[in-house]
Amino acid sequence: MGLNSDIAEVKAQLDKVISGAPDAWADLAAYDLKIKDRKNMKSVYGLIYNILHHGKEGQRIIDRTPRKNLDYLYSQCAGHVKK
């Protein structure tokens, strides 16, 4: 899988969390999407972080995403939440 497919997977999970889908990896009630602080784990970035670190079938997205691409991934996903 490449970076674009990782971004697409995170965006799909973000959509599920925001819509309250039963198969979402996180609960929206634990986050405040208005907070943009990267250091606050209850912010948009905290939600993205938790999605990246969620283990599905033994593999986490963070494990296959190159470290140099993480800032780009975070910015793309945070921008998706704004829409």
- pTM: predicted TM-score of the whole model, two decimal places: 0.89
Q: How many residues make up the chain in this entry?
A: 83
- Check residue 53 and give its pLDDT: 93
- Check residue 1 and give its pLDDT: 67
Long-range contact set of residues 69-73: C-beta below 8 Å, sequence gap at least 24? 69/3, 72/3, 73/3, 73/6, 73/7, 73/10, 73/48
List of the chain residues with pLDDT < 50: none
Q: Confirm if 74 and 45 have CB atoms less than 8 A apart.
A: yes
- Check residue 56 and give its pLDDT: 74
